[in-house]
Structure 1
Amino acid sequence: MSHSQILDMMRAQKCFSKDSVDFMSRILERSGTGQATAWPPAIVQCLKGKPADRSIERSREEAETVICTVVEDALRKAGVSAQEIDILIINCSLFSPTPSLCSMVMQKFNMRQDVKTYNLSGMGCSASPISIDLANTLLQARGGLGGGRALVVSTEIITPNLYHGNEKGFILQNTLFRCGGAAMVLSNRWIKDAHRASYKHLRTVRVQGNDPNSYGCVYETEDEKGERGVRLSKDIVKVAGKCMEKNMTTLGPYVLAFSEQAKVVASLGARFVLKFVYKNLVKMEKDNLAAKLPVVRPYVPDFKRTIDHFCIHAGGRAVIDGIEKNMKLEPFHTEASRMTLLNYGNTSSSSIWYELEYIQDQQRSNPLKKGHRIMQVAFGSGFKCNSTVWLKL
């Protein structure tokens, strides 16, 4: 779907004001998305004069098409059958039907009846590292049984989630998200699978805010006229920055060079001392001296010294620009994220896997090599920042 087709599709809903359509047009122009991103047939059909169908039946059709396609592809590439899977995890934030999406996959692929299934909903665009973390924990628990195999699916279903109101905080979702999904096979069966594995999981770090701003900055609710949607707060950039800073600080000791760790510790120590001195000067009513204290900015560690590739959630051009600037990345470090956004749009939790595939198959500016480390960074409602580091085998 091109930008003009998307706008025609929005006009065909006959619920958006001219100001809302103009607003969506401006967002699309600045979004970094290309002219051939995917929308579900149940919504696209309004271009042919049929009303958009947001029913559960059509939502299931989208889910079945996306999920079954990526599962079949993942099993084929991994060289395993559906009957060899021990754990099934599917994360889909805004569509959680009964029976579950896991039940749909179990039935479609005739999987074993003793497969352990987990359906994760409401976790937002950061859900895929959560699924990987869960799979890793469950596989470790099976270590005494000779290990196992886990199938992880990350997707978002668009059909039931088109917002039909005119509040700008909600309208953003209509211009950001696109159809997509990814499936991955994980294994800790060393004898059978180690020789054919593509990557080794090194570390997952999960951070979630616990304050009202974090909780409310991505919030599913109804607008004043009762139209359901996901409201994005103006505080989202600030909240995301704080959450990412905490995540990177936690992840740092596991992946950073020692010299970078020392700089981080020195920065934290200086900030702690200055904060202590400032509080005491204020208590002593020496505000003039307190105001003259220097400001020590948090040291942003140079992850480029130990991380070779970055898969940053393709949430939008501004998101990628901000992380590139804050982490002092080179343009080739964010190439995969920008190309994923251009070619596929924001596919929610699966975007980091589109990026990894781009690095693996298409990137020429920084080719993937054996021994390289890849960092995936995802953001989502809650507010959460989750990161995962892989080693190319």
Structure 2
Amino acid sequence: MFLLGFISNDLLGFLISQSGFIMPAAAIMVGLTLIAFMLYLFAFGSSPKIFLLDFACYKPPSSLACTKEMVIERLKLHGNFSDESLELMKKLMKTSGLGEATYLSEGLLREPLDMSTEAARKEAEMVVFGAVDELLGKTGVKGEEIGIVVVHSSIFNTVPSLASMIVNRYKLRENVLSYNMSGMGCSAGLLSIGLAKDLLKVHCNSYALVVTTEIITQGCYMGKDPSKLIGNCIFRMGGAAVLLSNRLSDRNNSKYQLIHTVHTNTASSDRSYNCIIQEKDHEGHVGITISKDLLVVASEIIKSNVATLAPLIFPASERLLYLINYLIRYFHVASIELYVPNVKCAVDHFFPHVGAKPILDKVARNLRMSEGQMEASRMTLYRFGNTSSSSVWYELAYAEAKGRIKRGDRVWQIAYGSGFKCSSAFWKAIRTVDREKMNPWSDVIDEFPVVDPHNTEIFPYAFELSKSK
């Protein structure tokens, strides 16, 4: 409608005189208004498509690799652990699903142990700059071209923020939109994708850099509380950087198009809120308490998130079968099992947050996933451990390294974490992704998948029940 400002009375007269007959000026004005409105809708009315140009997962140097026995020895040497605590951690480590070459930070491998703010900041710089450097190298995008930055790290918070650290390092422009998220848990990586998507919808011709990590140097628990020991056994060093664009000109150079994001939050429930929480033990040691409620809470929120995503991605036939099953169960006509939609009808690649082995087992059972569909998540847990919110990107990198991503493939990432929250991102591959040298799996991918000899052993839960239901 802004085009009407350029239509003068003289132009109206010309149009009337050339029409061959006299039309009311009001009719012409209405017609021009409709044309202008249609042009406006064509140019600005639809949401811009969001593309993922590329992503990069940080791979620490081999000097930071450690076996499970090395981790236990470090904890025994420097922690305030009882014999019972050490024995429990050995069992947790043995059945965790982690392999023998995951990574700890430099601070946790130093002698003596260094968990200072300076050591944590050094880890952050190593992971964040390492991932972003690789990403910018792969895409050729310059720092001054980035208009949006979203960064996440739950535990480690510093001043200036991690977002400011990126702005300073890469000399981003002064009007860059920067967001620093903390305390959001393992689902925050995909939550950050959702935030970047919303920002790209209203900021045209922009790049959004999303960086997600967990800085573990200050997250190591040194007390005796059994409910806080699991973090020492599964969390490892890692991080990822993702570059999104809403420029149509970037479509052919991108790997994926973002189709949907879905976020679920059950923090209003005390049971959900307290199942993963950072707190001090009775001796003053800070740690993350993980209760036995975790499996139940995670299962419930995943079902809720899937129920929201399913109508967006599943074909009508699957939605109809689900509805019929729901109605039968609702009216108690028959005691039949809940119908789980056939994921293969809508998804080619499934990447759930690795969490820990019991979580992956629960996800596989609830969604009736085969071991082939769970391969990327189990191998990521084995090779890199739980890298928190960035784990779903190591899984996607695994599939790319295997040469499994083909043009048109549908990719589903789902992550869950403290709060309790669950986030999904659904993508469509724009092109076939060949094996790339710049991939954290490139030097070992032919050795995978591996068989974990402890994969069938029971995970020894020893967590306290949450304080309220």
TM-score (normalizing by structure 2): 0.76
1:148 maps to what in 2? 206
CA shift, 1:51, in A, is 2.5
Aligned 1:152-171 pairs, distance under 5 A = 152-171=210-229
Structure 2: distance between partners of 1:173 and 1:29 = 14
Identical-residue share of aligned pairs (%): 38
Residue 322 in 1 paired to residue 362 in 2? yes
CA shift, 1:268, in A, is 2.3
Task: Check the 8 A contact 2:79/2:223 in 1, yes or no.
Answer: no
Instruction: Give the aligned residue type for 2:405.
Output: L
SS at match of 1:185: strand
Task: Check the 8 A contact 2:354/2:381 in 1, yes or no.
Answer: yes
Structure 2 residue corresponding to 1:56, chosen from 90, 113, 117: 117
CA shift, 1:295, in A, is 3.3
CA shift, 1:19, in A, is 1.0
Task: Check the 8 A contact 2:328/2:334 in 1, yes or no.
Answer: no
1:389 maps to what in 2? 426
1:286 maps to what in 2? none
Aligned 1:1-393 pairs, distance under 5 A = 1-45=66-110, 50-143=111-204, 147-191=205-249, 193-209=250-266, 210-274=268-332, 294-362=334-402, 367-393=404-430
Q: What stretches of structure 2 of length at least 5 have no aligned partner?
A: 1-65, 431-469
Instruction: Give the aligned residue type for 1:340.
Output: T
Structure showing greater Rg: 2
SS at match of 1:203: strand
- State the number of aligned residues: 364
Instruction: Give the aligned residue type for 2:362.
Output: G
Structure 1: distance between partners of 2:295 and 2:302 = 10
SS at match of 1:31: coil
Task: Check the 8 A contact 1:304/1:329 in 2, yes or no.
Answer: no
Instruction: Give the aligned residue type for 2:428.
Output: L
Task: Check the 8 A contact 1:371/1:391 in 2, yes or no.
Answer: yes
Q: Deviations over 1:182-204 (max 9, x none)?
A: 0000000112x111010000101
Instruction: Give the aligned residue type for 1:346.
Output: N
Instruction: Give the aligned residue type for 2:88.
Output: F
CA shift, 1:72, in A, is 0.7
Structure 2: distance between partners of 1:215 and 1:226 = 22
Structure 2: distance between partners of 1:43 and 1:229 = 16
CA shift, 1:220, in A, is 0.6
Structure 2: distance between partners of 1:368 and 1:167 = 44
CA shift, 1:38, in A, is 0.6
Structure 2: distance between partners of 1:267 and 1:221 = 43
SS at match of 1:186: strand
Structure 2: distance between partners of 1:178 and 1:346 = 6
Structure 1: distance between partners of 2:197 and 2:309 = 17
Larger fraction in helix: 1
Instruction: Give the aligned residue type for 1:154.
Output: T
Structure 2: distance between partners of 1:57 and 1:189 = 39
Instruction: Give the aligned residue type for 1:203.
Output: H
Q: Deviations over 1:205-264 (max 9, x none)?
A: 111112110000000111122211110010000000000010001000111111110111
CA shift, 1:108, in A, is 1.1
SS at match of 2:112: coil
Instruction: Give the aligned residue type for 1:24.
Output: M
CA shift, 1:55, in A, is 1.2
Instruction: Give the aligned residue type for 1:95.
Output: F
Structure 2: distance between partners of 1:307 and 1:301 = 11
Structure 1: distance between partners of 2:399 and 2:308 = 26
CA shift, 1:8, in A, is 0.6
Structure 1: distance between partners of 2:130 and 2:89 = 31
2:45 maps to what in 1? none
CA shift, 1:294, in A, is 4.5
Instruction: Give the aligned residue type for 1:164.
Output: M
Structure 1: distance between partners of 2:383 and 2:70 = 16
Structure 2: distance between partners of 1:211 and 1:295 = 29
Structure 2: distance between partners of 1:184 and 1:41 = 25
Structure 1: distance between partners of 2:304 and 2:155 = 27
TM-score (normalizing by structure 1): 0.91
Q: What stretches of structure 1 of length at least 5 have no aligned partner?
A: 275-292
Task: Check the 8 A contact 1:102/1:119 in 2, yes or no.
Answer: yes
List, as ranges, runs of 4+ consecutive aligned residues in structure 1 with deviation greater than 6 Å: none
Q: Deviations over 1:135-193 (max 9, x none)?
A: 000000113xxx210000010000111111111110111101000000000000112x1
Structure 1: distance between partners of 2:409 and 2:402 = 16
